[in-house]
Structure 1
Amino acid sequence: MESEWSRLRIDQVAEKVAMGPFGSSIKVSTFVPIGVPVISGQHLHGTRLEDSKYNFITPEHAEKLKNANVYRGDVIFTHAGNIGQVAYIPPCSKYDRYVISQRQFFMRCNKTLIKPSFVTYYFKTHEGQHKLLANSSPSGVPSIAQPVTYLRSIEIPVPPLLVQEAIACILGAFDDKIELNRRMNRTLEEMAQAIFKSWFVDFDPVRAKADGRDTGLPSEIADLFPDGFEESEMGEIPKGWSSTSFTDSIEVIGGGTPKRSSSEYWGGSIPWFSVVDTPADGEVFAISTKQTVTQLGIDNSSARILPVGTTIISARGTVGNLALVGVPMAMNQSCYGLRDQRNLKGYFLYFATEAVVDTLRQRGHGSVFNTITRDTLHSLRVASPPDEVASAFERVVQSLMLRLLVSQQESRTLAALRDSLLPKLISGELRVPDAERIAERVV
């Protein structure tokens, strides 16, 4: 039981606690195609580091930021922005070395006393989050004051190592299944992306027909594609397609925030999306959000209910993040909702939006762009296919996307069960053998 466990301060169980680099030390101009990956908040959604979609700096640059270098077993926290995030770098991480960004700090555990996984799970509990955020300020950009000094002072339960390992093993079984789902989802998404790129970016079926080759598609789909190209203001596009504004057949929907001082507007049953709810790597759909609002809040703000199939794009702050609405929800004013007016399910528009975001990044030479406006979206020219081609794409990828959605929903259920067991295991209320039996039935 927890009453029999030691309670020690972080500075008694940590070998090191340190901040990320100063703000100007890592910036867009220092990024390179390959090198040492930079960890930011987008990699800290789960218990373990989400090991993909990094910016990189050179090894020489990383050496100059040696105090911000982190390795397998280090526990990473966010001290500004999406505070409360915590994840550890697992033994199976993709890279040997990382650098944390300006908004992160880290703890290196004395592994003879405490396991990184146990520390991470503790700070995921309500008690751990309460302690971690007790020294935070919500005004402006949310931040934890003096994060290194403060973290060192926090006292946590420290059970025997064997108990820590058993708790981490049980909870880790849920994370393993969630990670397996995420990898499968990533594969499903990549398959759909590959089909979109082949049809609508590289025009492979058109090129094949122009060369007299087999398209590799069923005849009823191949027949929808022309056998040549024609000139347009964009250059060559498939015959019969149109060079149009990206928004020509799209409804662009703005968001809104109900008045914070009106408690009756918040905590309802309607999910309210902001950039922190961007699906993690290996996910596409937004199916839950950190905050919820009431219908009264919607009625008294500029927020609207977005139907399933709407694409959300973040337009300010962290720009260009995408989500496909999986349940009806509202969103804040830092995002746009994009709704296809051609009675499609939304898959075509989602991947088309992904393509135009890539175009915007290429225009900026890979840099982060500051904002997206309605004019930005309207100014983008795209090769617009006939409706029957877009509809065929939706039919082809529908099974992939539905499998992805079901898998995401399963992961959400697993995470909820894991999170219900977490405080009971950490507090000693639930014995390890009992938790093992629950995990065996579910995972």
Structure 2
Amino acid sequence: MSEWKECKLGDAPLEIIDGDRGKNYPSQDEFFSSEHTLFLSTKNVRKTGFDFQECQFITKDKDEKLRKGKLSRNDLVVTTRGTVGNLAFYNKNIPFENIRINSGMVLVRPEPNKLNPLFNYYIFRFLQSDFETFSTGSAQPQLPIRDMKEIPILLPPLAEQKAIAGVLSALDDKIDLLHRQNKTLEAMAEALFRQWFVRGPELAEGEEAEESLEEGKLGDLVTIVSGTTPKTENPEFWNGEYHWTSPRDITNLNGLFLFDTERKITKLGLDQIGSGLLPAGSLLMSSRAPVGALAFAEIPVAINQGYAGIICDKGYKREFIYLWLKANMDMVHSYANGSTFQEISKSAFKSLDISIPDPKKMATFHSIIDNKFEKIRLNSIQIRSLEKLRDTLLPKLMSGEVRVEV
């Protein structure tokens, strides 16, 4: 370990750069859905990477008026206000050429001849658990650059940096591949569902009308329940052996299957929830803030009031109900209301109109798509194992407890 250097981030071969917060900072009417430069918001930087589902852009003219905060390849983005420590790596795979950070972030730029950019990324991954310790403020936590620069790190020689980054990135690459496989499989299942069960307003030329389908309500096909939150101030209800979930568990879920929950309750806590413990295999949909996040519970789980718990106990499989909800999410949202936040009630959800499919057609459909969902499930289990291995190795490699042969 004698060749490893102990230093603070402020003394490491990297630059921590703030965004431009001056008079040219974009106002709300200067953002567009498509333009020259992606202007990051907190929605775009998650705990382990970029998320480009919702993007806002500024014009080239506006971009050129801003002084600081434009990304170069191999920069990191770290959130430093509100949610502290979310992290994204601007490598060659990111599809945007022009990106700027907002005022709640910094970018970290390594000197590549002294600090391997990928190793730099894993330094900050390793430090994520420490960022909250160094942040200040209660209403809105912040991590000022001056405080970030005081965080101590260990810096191995460049060759060992590359070797360590190679081990960790091999695991991350495999995890990413499995996630992409899952997205492809799910997209295939959704396309098949639309082909089989979603008809356009007019029949195609030469297409014969099918026999009329029986119309029903979603509540005719499944059992729908809601939950509650045991009093949080009562310690007898919490930190027990039963899984309890709020929508936060599935809105933060990078996948379809829920294997664990952030919080657990005791038997006394479970007794406070009328719907009790939902069986493993239940389908969960967040019914408020936001409406429509979906997941399959792979564990028995109790739910809070922010869910519609869907138990498929009437002969219709969860995969079909899931795909139907995905295809009809606009209708689900149209039944939601509320001034503070949108919410769909259990009674409204149960009353959604649904065409009840022919049993033979359903059986044939499931013979095609069930193996796709099983592959997604098995991939998700493998992802969990790889993530656990990576998260176990990360602190050992970054501290020198486990060495990599160079």
> In which range does the TM-score fall when normalised by the shorter chain?
0.7 to 0.9
2:326 pairs, out of 348, 354, 362, with: 354
1:188 aligns with 2:169: no
Residue 199 of structure 1: how far off its partner (Å): 1.6
Within the alignment, does 1:430 sit opposite 2:374 as a pair? no
CA 302–181 in structure 1, closer or farther in 2 if over 3 Å, else same:
same
Shift in CA distance, 342/319, structure 1 to aligned 2, threshold 3 Å? same
| 1:146–1:410 distance in 2 versus 1, CA, 3 Å | closer
One-letter identity of the residue aligned with 1:407: N
Q: Which amino acid aligns with 1:53?
A: Q
1:172 aligned onto 2:169 = yes
- Following the alignment from structure 2 to structure 1, what is the Cα–Cα distance between the partners of residues 224 and 106? 38
Percent identity over the alignment is: 27
Instruction: State the aligned residue count.
Output: 399
Contact 1:319 1:370 in 2 (8 A): no
Per the TM alignment, residue 310 of structure 1 is displaced from its structure 2 partner at its CA by 2.5
Alignment of 1:14-413 (within 5 A): 14-18=14-18, 30-32=31-33, 36-37=37-38, 39=40, 47=48, 49-50=49-50, 52-60=52-60, 63=63, 67=68, 69-79=70-80, 83-100=84-101, 104-125=105-126, 128-136=127-135, 143-202=140-199, 207=203, 211=206, 227-228=208-209, 239-242=212-215, 244-263=216-235, 265-278=237-250, 283-301=255-273, 304-359=276-331, 370-374=341-345, 377=349, 380-413=352-385
Provide the rounded CA distance (Å) in 2 between the counterparts of 1:287 and 1:27: 39
Offset from partner CA, 1:40-83 (integer Å, 9 cap, x none)? 66665564x35653434354487277755434322233445654
**Distance in structure 2 (CA, Å) of the matches to 1:330 and 1:20:** 46
Q: Is the 8 A contact 2:35 2:59 kept in 1?
A: no
Further displaced range: 149-158 or 260-269: 260-269
Determine the C-alpha separation between the residues in 2 that align with 1:78 and 1:293.
32
In structure 1, distance between residues paired with 2:10 and 2:250? 31
What amino acid maps onto 1:122 in structure 2? Answer: I
In the aligned structure 2, how far is the partner of 1:61 from the partner of 1:376? 48
Quick one: which amino acid aligns to residue 424 of structure 1?
A: K
Q: CA–CA distance in 2 between the matches of 1:301 and 1:254?
A: 9
Root-mean-square deviation over aligned CA pairs: 4.0
Shift of 1:362: 9.2
CA–CA distance in structure 2, aligned partners of residues 393 and 266 of structure 1: 42
Question: Which of 376, 396, 417 is residue 389 of structure 2 equivalent to?
Answer: 417
Is the 2:250–2:295 contact (alpha carbons within 8 Å) kept by the matching residues of 1? yes
Change (3 A) 1:191 1:277: same
Q: Is the 8 A contact 2:74 2:117 kept in 1?
A: yes
The CA distance in 2 between the partners of 1:65 and 1:202, in whole Å, is: 49
**2:209 is matched by which residue type in structure 1?**
G
Preserved CA contact (<8 Å) 1:137 1:144: yes
Deviation of residue 110 (structure 1)?
Answer: 3.5
Counterpart of 1:129 in structure 2: which amino acid? Q
Per-residue deviation, residues 170-198 of structure 1 (Å, max 9, x unmatched): 01110011111111111111110111111
Relative distance call for 1:272 and 1:174 in structure 2 (3 A) is farther
Determine if contact 1:264/1:297 at 8 Å carries over to the other structure: yes
2:18 touches 2:105 (CA, 8 Å); kept in 1?
A: no
Report the Cα distance in structure 2 between the residues aligned to 1:425 and 1:32, rounded to whole angstroms: 42
1:412-436 Cα deviation digits (max 9, x unpaired)? 1011011111111111011113xx9
Deviation digits for residues 135-181 of structure 1 (CA, Å, limit 9, x no counterpart): 457966xx422444432332322222222221111011100111111
Please give the secondary structure, in 2, of the residue aligned with 1:313: strand
- Write the letter of the residue equivalent to 1:239: S
- Normalized against structure 1, the TM-score is what? 0.74
Residue 70 to residue 272, structure 1, CA distance change in 2 (3 Å) = farther
Measure, in 1, the Cα distance between the counterparts of 2:242 and 2:149.
38
> CA distance change for structure 1 residues 137 and 168 in 2, over 3 Å: closer, same or farther?
same
How far apart, CA to CA, are the structure 1 residues paired with 2:11 and 2:372? Answer: 48
Normalising by the residue count of structure 2, what TM-score does the alignment of the two structures yield?
Answer: 0.80
Distance 1:389 1:189 in 2: 20
Question: Separation in 2 of the partners of 1:56 and 1:411?
Answer: 31
Distance 2:270 2:97 in 1: 47
CA contact (8 A) 1:279 1:286 kept: no
Corresponding residue for 2:6?
6
Render the CA deviation track for 1:102-149: whole Å, top value 9, x for unaligned: 765443334344344334323433xx2342011457966xx4224444
Distance, in Å, in 1 between the alignment partners of 2:186 and 2:116 is 34
Q: For residue 96 of structure 1, report the CA deviation from its aligned partner.
A: 2.0
**C-alpha distance in structure 1 between counterparts of 2:259 and 2:288, whole Å:** 22
The alpha-carbon distance between structure 1 residues 152 and 384, as it changes in their structure 2 partners (threshold 3 A), is farther
